[in-house]
Amino acid sequence: MNDVIRFSRQPVALTVVLCCVWGAHAQDPLAAATADPGALSPVVVTGERSGGGVWRGAASIDVVDGDALRDGQAQINLSEGLAGVPGLVIRNRQNYAQDLQISVRGYGARATFGVRGVRLFVDGIPASAPDGSGQAANFPLGSADRVEVVRGPMAALYGASSGGALLLYTEDGQRPAQWRTGLVAGSDGLWRLSTQATGQTGTAQDPGWSYALDLSRFETDGTRPHSAADRTTANLKLSRRHEGGRTVLVFNRHSSFALDPQGLSRAELDGNPDQTNAGALSFNTRKTVAQSQLGLAFEQALGGGHKLELMGYGGQRQVVQFQSITTGAQVPAGSSGGVIDLDRDYWGWNARWRHDSDWQGGRLSLSAGVASDHQSDSRKGYENFIGNTLGVQGKLRRDELNKAQTLDPYLQAEWRTPSLTLMGGVRQTRTDYESVDRYIVGTNRDDSGRKVYQSTLPVLGARWQIDPSLQAFASIGKGYEIPTLNEVAYRSGGVSGFNTELNAARSTSAELGLRGRADRLRWSATAFDIRTDDEIVVQNNTGGRTTFQNAGRTLRQGLELAGEWRSGPVTLTSAYTWMLANYQDAFMTCTTAGCPNATPQVQVPAGHQIPGLPQHQLFAQVAWDTGWAGSRVTLEVRHVGRVMVNDLNTDAAVAHTLLNLVVQFKQERGDWTLREFIRLDNLSDQKHVGSVIVNDGNSRFFEPGAGRKLMLGLEAQRRF
């Protein structure tokens, strides 16, 4: 097969179904609530935005507006605009073959590629598969209206593997019509060109369909040798209101190609952090992705405060990835080779009934429904060599059909008065895994298997208004993280085959917080405690395969602080997270290939830090609107504490602090608006580790961060 994606000719599956959207959208006489986002919304709680959060909710939710994601930013990675959200670790690996590194209050830290343990949504459509794995590369930042970051116990209402949730909503087309085009160019051959068009058909008196189109193209030579990448995305949203309801249609197309520079060992990092591992070069490691999906939603008021919402989606995803697994490691009969060829069909539906009414002097919101998601992965593995030629597709070594499907009923109730909010919810989650081995050759045995993961996840929350400028809130709930299909692919000791012994991790999460506001100040302070049993950890990671096991208990405790202060033309913004994340029980792990006799031989002592998580993280920003030529000057400070790289805590990425400077300009001339910016990241050109590859079997843990980078941006917008 060529080095490009093989596109399936099957039509994109689309199932139109009933939808549930968790939420409380009651109007509060003392707070202007946000607009109901409609049927394409899985939000647990929606309320007034204040200081980057939800003012009268009983949960930790931060809202980042689309303008904040775009102004002075490259609009390429979700990590650019979310640094000011406490409790969220989101890093650009400088490796577009592996996506962003995202964790929320410690959930998702073990991911070596993609996102797991944190649920992702775009316009209500999951960007996470039923097995909990996800990708943020297809988030259309150019047309984003906002991103909502859900942390804490309430996140469990999104289902299994929901330690947190990131939800992006794109803008709706409105009158007058608008056209916007932007160009960004910077160091390392980086450029991004995008166009957005929004508007509405019909007339103001008789409106028709609202439309929002977003097209973008991005390319870079990369910060290290063999790290070039490109990406093309298209996102179309159509919506139309009708009597008592609304219909929404969303289409998204994403394609990308990226070379994979991989991580560096400690010696390589200390010797030259700008180099690329020799294995990546000799095997020409790379990844190609193509994805298309379609979503359709319908909502209808039924009278008497009742409402029905329907949503279905379907799509296809194709991935081809060339790895640097040595030829010798591919000799054993159970080897999967060094080339991944994945064809995925996925679809899902949601159904919700909602009722809002006045009750006992407050506003009562009830919702109930069921959600189901499906993925079917045709996964093949090939050798990454032919004879002495490396980095090419060789013989077939793996052929499986992996399936995952969920069926989750749920129920939520919220009662709200101006001074009190009480909330409760429960979601019963069930995920069925099935793996059918279609490659049974010689001594390579049948590795088929199946397993069911299920749990009931209750949550409770309360909010109490101490005075009009101060709120207290608390919540507690159960969490449930299932292993991904990749994580159950190998049995103990690295033997190929479905790992039915790997169980889900169960947790109890609690938080207690205060939030306040005054004329110039918005602030919040939240303490959290997360206790987990059967934590999923690495048993062995060598020879191109990673085997997982359940360890004992873990404990994550932390404090999140955030604030915003404005005085005339100056705005100060800050977010700080302190977190201790430790293994409470000792467990055994492997450090050699094959894990002799399938018995882990090295102990990870109790008290060791969970890798991939900094104890301290700080974001501070001062912005000054100068009053000259519509300019704004912004200075950012981003500090990340020391990060352990493996369970044995044998090495760590040292703490670092980066300074970024942005100068923006804005001019309005009739129907035209022009925006320009100059951005200089890492002013001091500090050498640092941007992210780590947790428990890498070759000890190539370190992904170097970018040095000093210059970026220029220009955007033109016109109203019609």
Cross-strand bridge partners of residue 463 = 421, 473
Which of 383, 255, 388, 374 has the alpha carbon at shortest distance from 314? 374
Residue bearing the bigger pLDDT, 20 or 160: 160
Which of 34, 31, 68, 30 has the alpha carbon at shortest distance from 564? 68
- Can you list the alpha helix ranges (DSSP code H) found in 278-388? 278-282
pLDDT (mean) for 542-570: 91
171 within 8 A of 197, measured Cβ to Cβ: no
- Per residue in 558-574, pLDDT (tens digit) is 999 999 999 999 999 99
278 Cβ partners below 8 Å, 6+ apart? none
What's the pLDDT at 5? 33
Tell me which of 134-143, 469-478, 652-661, 673-682 is least confident.
134-143
Q: φ and ψ at 649, to 5 degrees?
A: 55, 40
What's the pLDDT at 600? 81
- Per residue in 37-48, pLDDT (tens digit) is 445 566 454 434
What's the pLDDT at 498? 86
617 within 8 A of 598, measured Cβ to Cβ: no
Give, in degrees to the nearest 5, the angle at Cα 85 between 186 and 127. Answer: 75
Average pLDDT of the chain, as a whole number: 89
What's the pLDDT at 711? 98
294 within 8 A of 237, measured Cβ to Cβ: no
pLDDT (mean) for 123-142: 91
| Domain 49-719, classified CATH 2.40.40.20, yes or no | no
The CB-side HSE value for 305 (13 A sphere, CA atoms) comes to 13
Q: Are strands 396-406 and 389-390 parallel, antiparallel or unpaired?
A: unpaired
Q: Residues of the chain with pLDDT > 90: what percent?
A: 80
Q: Using the predicted structure, report yes or no on whether residue 546 has a pLDDT greater than 90.
A: no
Token output for 391: 């980095």
pLDDT (mean) for 60-84: 93
* Unique residue bearing structure tokens 């640097």: 324
* The model's pTM: 0.91
487 within 8 A of 133, measured Cβ to Cβ: no
Element holding 404 (H helix, E strand): strand 396-406
The residue type found at 688 is H
Alpha carbon 648 to its chain centroid, in Å, reads 27
Give, in degrees to the nearest 5, the angle at Cα 88 between 486 and 684. Answer: 110
- Per residue in 490-537, pLDDT (tens digit) is 887 666 778 889 999 999 999 999 999 998 999 999 999 999 999 999
* Unique residue bearing structure tokens 């298309």: 292
The residue type found at 395 is K
Q: Using the predicted structure, report yes or no on whether residue 405 has a pLDDT greater than 90.
A: yes
Token output for 571: 């705005």
Q: What is the DSSP letter of 591?
A: -
What's the pLDDT at 39? 52
Cα–Cα distance measured from residue 276 to residue 702, given in angstroms and rounded to the nearest whole number: 11
Q: φ and ψ at 211, to 5 degrees?
A: -135, 150
Residue bearing the bigger pLDDT, 535 or 591: 535
Cα–Cα distance measured from residue 613 to residue 451, given in angstroms and rounded to the nearest whole number: 30
Token output for 95: 């490796």
- pLDDT tier for residue 7 given thresholds of 50, 70 and 90: very low
Secondary structure of 225-275 as H, E, C letters? CCCCEEEEEEEEEEEEEECCEEEEEEEEEEEEEEECCCCECHHHHHHCCCC
* Class of residue 368 by CB neighbours under 10 A (exposed 0-12, middle 13-18, buried 19+): middle
What's the pLDDT at 579? 97
Cα–Cα distance measured from residue 42 to residue 369, given in angstroms and rounded to the nearest whole number: 12
What's the pLDDT at 312? 96
545 within 8 A of 589, measured Cβ to Cβ: no
Which of 544, 594, 546 has the alpha carbon at shortest distance from 383? 544
Q: Using the predicted structure, report yes or no on whether residue 703 has a pLDDT greater than 80.
A: yes
What's the pLDDT at 33? 31
Cα–Cα distance measured from residue 656 to residue 640, given in angstroms and rounded to the nearest whole number: 6
Which of 620, 612, 662 has the alpha carbon at shortest distance from 638? 620
Q: What is the DSSP string of 21-82?
A: -------BTTB-PPPP--SS---S----EETTEETT-SSEEEEEEHHHHHTTS-SS-GGGS-
- pLDDT tier for residue 378 given thresholds of 50, 70 and 90: very high
- pLDDT tier for residue 6 given thresholds of 50, 70 and 90: very low
Q: Residues of the chain with pLDDT > 70: what percent?
A: 91
- pLDDT tier for residue 576 given thresholds of 50, 70 and 90: very high
The CB-side HSE value for 125 (13 A sphere, CA atoms) comes to 32
* Class of residue 439 by CB neighbours under 10 A (exposed 0-12, middle 13-18, buried 19+): middle
- Per residue in 85-117, pLDDT (tens digit) is 999 999 999 999 998 999 999 999 988 888 999
Token output for 307: 């409402």
625-648 burial, b if ≥16 CB within 10 A, otherwise e?
A: beeeebebebebebebbebbbbbb
pLDDT (mean) for 323-345: 91
Cα–Cα distance measured from residue 468 to residue 418, given in angstroms and rounded to the nearest whole number: 9
Q: Using the predicted structure, report yes or no on whether residue 656 has a pLDDT greater than 50.
A: yes
Q: Using the predicted structure, report yes or no on whether residue 218 has a pLDDT greater than 70.
A: yes
Q: Using the predicted structure, report yes or no on whether residue 327 has a pLDDT greater than 70.
A: yes
* Class of residue 45 by CB neighbours under 10 A (exposed 0-12, middle 13-18, buried 19+): buried
Q: Using the predicted structure, report yes or no on whether residue 17 has a pLDDT greater than 50.
A: no
What's the pLDDT at 594? 61
Tell me which of 54-68, 183-197, 223-237, 537-551 is least confident.
537-551
Token output for 255: 């394609």
Q: Rounded to whole angstroms, what are the CA distances from 336 to 248, 401, 442, 489? A: 42, 14, 15, 10
502 within 8 A of 481, measured Cβ to Cβ: no
Cα–Cα distance measured from residue 125 to residue 127, given in angstroms and rounded to the nearest whole number: 6
Q: Rounded to whole angstroms, what are the CA distances from 648 to 259, 531, 537, 592? A: 30, 21, 12, 14
- pLDDT tier for residue 445 given thresholds of 50, 70 and 90: confident
Q: Is the peptide bond before 704 cis (omega within 30 degrees of 0)?
A: no
